[in-house]
């Protein structure tokens, strides 16, 4: 995410200026693409024309696959299946049912999306290579299905698809056809680019970085992935519709694995995560394919399409080895080296730091549906078993609103397991978690987040694909409304700027504004931890679970963190704190609960817990004398 802005041309109203600033690269890029497509029919020979038309057609499934793979991190090897479903359905509607072109095309796209929805419902629960294998299987099913089914014309396919007419003008040559396809590709591009910058797009990237963290901020990862899978199939289906028009015949070759590999190659060559890269990749692969068609038979006389597939494989390996970020990475590196490239104005990164001071500002009151002191979280008989290991054993606790509960215990006592069950990351073997009167145990973390419960992690879960403010911005997810559709249509800019401002404010309270525009992965461990706390706070939770927030912090940072926690409590926030720094917990917490070997051995105010013999023995050592010495030391720290 970047906040570098270029001034808009003079004379523009502020709204138009903002539109220009936000969409400048998209508008320039689309303008160049349209200009090229207007010129190509007048300048290119028929062979180049053919390549360009197919590149534009295949740019559609490539954009769709790029959204799925680059944004949502879902590997699919079945894009040809949706391409074929679009092409065949369109062809059947045109030739067998005699439907008008736009109706047949719409049904083609919807059919691809419907099949994606039906197969996506179970498939989107799979991850990584399992999903890749399942989509590969889907590709084979469609390929065999169209070969064996009478309706799809078996091995001969469907003939006689006539080109459409626009305003009575028949699209009967390649030049006209290119102009016919171009607006659809440009619209697809704009929708996809909008999506990548939208609330939903950022959530998808976050899911890709850390599903657990995204879920904990309220992202329903399953539903979001499913939507992008269906959307991606829609792009492929539209490509299939144009393909059917262009070749006038739909045969089983449209569903072949070879085609899925080609589309995958377009996305990888273009650069995963770059919508423009997918379009560039489509052009490169088409030109490459044409080149291979000439070169390979010259090297291997009599070589067939299988050898061409081998050529694709070699190119794929070379790209992954030499240019893992694809054309997008190459273009970005080149652009940065050019003197023309917009550089960040001096001081811009620190624009927000001027207002910083060394104290934490007063925080606005947290609105909690229950009065201070009333139970906000009730844990009852919570148990987690892993085979013979009982990580948490029948723990019951009540946390009053507006207080800090410190959860301590030696290593392996079950603290994180408890946190995971409260936040929904783990399903309890037994027992319930009731938050604000709702039983949330066994539900997904996004359900707990929706009720106002957010957490941080002992093992940091940073969204590495974005910058620091981008991470905190993700904390605002549940405060936003715009879904995939509104994101694609770009109807959420007001919402986004408000959330950005809120994210900066939170960073300011933790003195992180200097690093706001830095890549999150470049931060020190301690700063990443503070950033996670900021991210959780951005969600404006009623209950905050902090898993070792002081670990890795410098002594000054610890002081700032402790002060922040006090201020948050004063503002009405309820906090459950797991922390190894016992002295800090004792000084901060209203109540302390001690776990040992999964069992709750003590619960009460810090003084009574500090002097509880069971805690002294279990927590500080088996030797009582040694334990008492440690205890005295602790008291001195407190
Ligand atoms: P630490 O302070 O070291 O982080 P903790 O109090 O958070 O420890 P947990 O991580 O909750 O402890 O672990 C509690 C117990 O459960 C440990 O004995 C651990 O080995 C066990 N445990 C945790 N997760 C699993 C798992 N997935 N499978 C088997 N045992 C597990």
In terms of Cβ atoms closer than 10 Å to its own Cβ (0-12, 13-18, 19+), residue 391 is buried
pLDDT score for 12? 56
pLDDT at residue 349 in the model: 41
What is the average pLDDT score of the chain?
A: 87
pLDDT digits (tens, 9 = 90+) for 544-571: 999 999 988 888 888 888 988 998 898 8
Please tell me the predicted confidence (pLDDT) of residue 1: 39
pLDDT at position 240, please?
Answer: 97
Q: What is the pTM of this model?
A: 0.86
In short, whether 429's Cβ falls inside 6 Å of ligand 1 is no
CB-ligand 1 contact for 410 (6 Å cutoff): no
Whole-number pLDDT of residue 620: 57
Distance CA 633, CA 406 (A): 19
Q: Ligand 1 atom 21: the closest Cα is on which residue?
A: 391
Residue 306 banded pLDDT, cuts 50, 70, 90: low
Give the distance (Å) from ligand 1 centre to CA of residue 412: 5
Rounded average pLDDT over 341-368: 50
What does the pLDDT look like over 173-215, one tens digit per residue? 999 999 999 999 999 999 999 999 999 999 999 998 999 999 9
Which of 467, 538, 454 has the alpha carbon at shortest distance from 501? 538
Residue 592 banded pLDDT, cuts 50, 70, 90: very high
- SS3 category, 337: helix
pLDDT tens by residue, 409-462: 988 999 999 999 999 999 999 999 999 999 999 999 999 999 999 999 999 999
pLDDT of residue 159: 92
Nearest ligand 1 atom to alpha carbon 458: 4
The CA 575 to ligand 1 mean position distance, Å, reads 22
Pocket test for ligand 1, best of 385, 387, 389 (most atoms within 8 A of CB): 389
Task: Confirm or reject: Cβ of 413 under 6 Å from ligand 1.
Answer: yes
CB distance 420 to ligand 1 below 6 Å: no
CA of 394 to the centre of ligand 1 (A): 15
Residue nearest to atom 20 of ligand 1 (CA): 412
Residue 380 pLDDT greater than 50, yes or no: yes
Q: Is 470 in the pocket of ligand 1 (CB under 6 A)?
A: no
In b/e form, how buried is each residue of 270-309, taking b as 16+ CB within 10 angstroms? Answer: bbbbbbbbbbbbbbbbbebbeebeeebeeeeeebeeeebe
Least confident of 145-159, 191-205, 266-280, 297-311: 297-311
pLDDT at 71: 86
- Domains of the chain listed by start with CATH number: 12-336 (1.10.3470)
pLDDT at 526 over 60: yes
Does the beta carbon of 412 sit less than 6 angstroms from any atom of ligand 1?
yes
E-assigned strand segments in 82-175 = 165-166, 169-170
Distance from C-alpha of 368 to C-alpha of 366, rounded to nearest angstrom = 6
547: CA distance to ligand 1 center in Å? 13
Tokens of 31: 């303008």
CA of 526 to the centre of ligand 1 (A): 23
Higher-pLDDT residue of 431 and 273 is 431
Percent of the chain with pLDDT over 90: 59
In this predicted structure, the answer to whether residue 629 has a pLDDT above a threshold of 90 is: no
Q: How far is CA 387 from CA 391, 483, 598, in A?
A: 10, 41, 14
**Residue 417, ligand 1, Cβ within 6 A:** yes
Q: Whose CA is nearest to atom 27 of ligand 1?
A: 386
In a mutational test of the pocket of ligand 1, which residue from 386, 455, 458, 619 has the highest number of ligand atoms less than 8 Å from its CB? Answer: 386
Asked if pLDDT for residue 2 goes beyond 70, the answer is: no
Band of residue 482 on the pLDDT scale cut at 50, 70, 90: confident
In the numeric block, which tokens belong to residue 199? Answer: 């609330």
Average pLDDT for 495-507: 85
Question: pLDDT per residue over 313-350, tens digit each?
Answer: 787 788 778 888 889 888 888 888 876 655 544 444 44
pLDDT of residue 490: 86
Query: Is the pLDDT confidence value at 587 over 70?
Result: yes
Instruction: Evaluate whether 60 touches 185 at the Cβ level (below 8 Å).
Output: yes
The Å distance, Cα 206 to ligand 1 centre, comes to 26
DSSP string of 468-519, one letter each residue: HHHHHHHHTGGG----HHHHHTTTTHHHHHHHHHHHHHHHHHTT-GGGTTSB
Beta carbon of 233 within 6 Å of any ligand 1 atom: no
- Our mutation pick for probing the ligand 1 site, out of 392, 417, 428, counting the most ligand atoms within 8 A of Cβ, is 417
With a 6 Å cutoff on the Cβ, whether 407 touches ligand 1 is: no
Per-residue pLDDT, 231: 97
* The pLDDT value given to residue 33: 96
Is the shortest distance between the CB of 414 and ligand 1 below 6 Å?
yes
| Lowest pLDDT segment from 17-21, 63-67, 207-211, 377-381 | 17-21
Ligand 1 centroid to 390 CA: how many Å? 9
Check residue 8 and give its pLDDT.
47
Report the residue among 414, 426, 546, 593 best suited for mutation to probe ligand 1: largest number of ligand atoms under 8 A from its CB: 414
Distance 414 CA to ligand 1 centre (A): 5
**487 close to 193: Cβ distance less than 8 angstroms:** no
Nearest CA to ligand 1 atom 1: 411
Q: What span, in angstroms and rounded, lies between the C-alpha atoms of 536 and 516?
A: 16
Contact 241, 105 (CB under 8 A): yes
Q: Whose CA is nearest to atom 19 of ligand 1?
A: 412
- Per-residue model confidence (pLDDT) at position 347: 40
Q: Is 593 in the pocket of ligand 1 (CB under 6 A)?
A: no
**Each residue's pLDDT tens digit, 572-582:** 899 999 998 88
Please work out whether the CB of residue 167 comes within 6 Å of at least one atom of ligand 1. no
Lowest mean pLDDT, pick from 73-82, 169-178, 355-364, 468-477: 355-364
| Ligand 1 binding pocket includes 386 (Cβ within 6 Å) | yes
**pLDDT computed for residue 384 by the predictor:** 97
For position 191, what pLDDT does the model report? 96
pLDDT tens for 242-254 read 999 999 999 999 9
Residue nearest to atom 28 of ligand 1 (CA): 386
């Amino acid at each position: 995410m970047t906040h570098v802005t270029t001034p808009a041309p003079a004379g523009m109203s502020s709204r138009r200026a903002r539109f220009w600033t936000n969409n400048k690269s998209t508008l320039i890029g689309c303008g160049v693409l349209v200009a090229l497509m207007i010129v190509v029919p007048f300048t290119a020979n028929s062979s180049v024309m053919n390549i360009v038309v197919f590149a534009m057609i295949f740019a559609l499934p490539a954009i769709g696959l790029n959204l799925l793979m680059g944004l949502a991190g879902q590997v699919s090897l079945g894009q040809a299946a949706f391409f074929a479903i679009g092409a065949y359905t369109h062809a059947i509607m045109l030739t067998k049912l005699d439907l008008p072109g736009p109706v047949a095309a719409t049904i083609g796209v919807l059919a691809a999306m419907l099949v994606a929805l039906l197969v996506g419902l179970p498939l989107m629960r799979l991850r990584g290579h399992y999903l890749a294998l399942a989509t590969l299987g889907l590709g084979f099913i469609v390929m065999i299905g169209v070969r064996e089914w009478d309706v799809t014309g078996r091995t001969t396919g469907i003939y006689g698809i006539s080109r459409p007419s626009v305003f009575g003008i028949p699209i009967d040559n390649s030049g006209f056809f290119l102009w016919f396809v171009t607006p659809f590709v440009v619209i697809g591009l704009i929708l996809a680019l909008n999506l990548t910058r939208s609330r939903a797009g950022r959530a998808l990237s976050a899911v890709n970085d850390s599903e657990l963290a995204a879920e904990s901020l309220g992202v329903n990862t399953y539903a979001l992935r499913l939507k992008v899978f269906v959307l991606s199939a829609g792009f492929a289906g539209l490509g299939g519709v144009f393909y059917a028009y262009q070749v006038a015949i739909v045969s089983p070759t449209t569903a072949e694995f070879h085609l899925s590999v080609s589309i995958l190659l377009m996305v990888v060559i273009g650069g995963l995560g770059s919508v423009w890269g997918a379009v560039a990749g489509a052009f490169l692969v088409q030109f490459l394919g044409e080149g291979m068609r000439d070169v390979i038979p010259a090297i291997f006389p009599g070589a067939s399409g299988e050898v061409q597939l081998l050529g694709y494989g070699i190119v794929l390996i070379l790209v992954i080895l030499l240019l893992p970020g694809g054309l997008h990475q190459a273009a970005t590196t080149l652009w940065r080296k050019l003197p023309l490239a917009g550089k960040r104005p001096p001081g811009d990164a620190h624009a927000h730091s001027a207002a910083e001071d060394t104290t934490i500002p007063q925080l606005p009151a947290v609105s909690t549906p229950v009065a201070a002191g009333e139970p906000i979280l009730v844990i009852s008989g919570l148990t987690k078993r892993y085979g013979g290991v009982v990580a948490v054993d029948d723990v019951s606790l009540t946390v009053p609103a507006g207080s800090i509960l410190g959860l301590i215990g030696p290593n392996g006592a079950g603290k994180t397991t408890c946190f995971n069950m409260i936040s929904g990351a783990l399903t309890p073997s037994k027992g319930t978690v009731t938050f604000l009167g709702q039983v949330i145990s066994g539900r997904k973390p996004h359900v707990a987040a929706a009720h106002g419960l957010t957490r941080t992690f002992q093992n940091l879960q940073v969204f590495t694909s974005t910058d620091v403010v981008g991470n905190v911005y993700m904390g605002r997810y549940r405060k936003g409304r715009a879904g995939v559709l509104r994101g694609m249509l770009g109807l959420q800019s007001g919402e986004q700027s408000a959330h950005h401002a809120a994210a900066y404010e939170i960073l300011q309270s933790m003195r992180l504004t200097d690093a706001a525009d830095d890549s999150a992965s470049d931060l020190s461990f301690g700063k990443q931890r503070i950033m996670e706390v900021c991210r959780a706070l951005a969600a404006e939770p009623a209950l905050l679970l902090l898993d070792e927030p002081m670990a890795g912090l410098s002594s000054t940072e610890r002081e700032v963190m402790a002060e922040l926690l006090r201020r948050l409590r004063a503002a009405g926030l309820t906090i459950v704190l797991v922390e190894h720094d016992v002295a800090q917990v004792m000084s901060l917490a209203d109540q302390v609960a001690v776990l040992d070997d999964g069992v709750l051995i003590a619960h009460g105010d810090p003084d009574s817990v500090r002097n509880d013999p069971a805690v002294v023995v279990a927590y500080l050592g088996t030797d009582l004398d040694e334990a008492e010495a440690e205890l005295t030391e602790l008291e001195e720290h407190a």
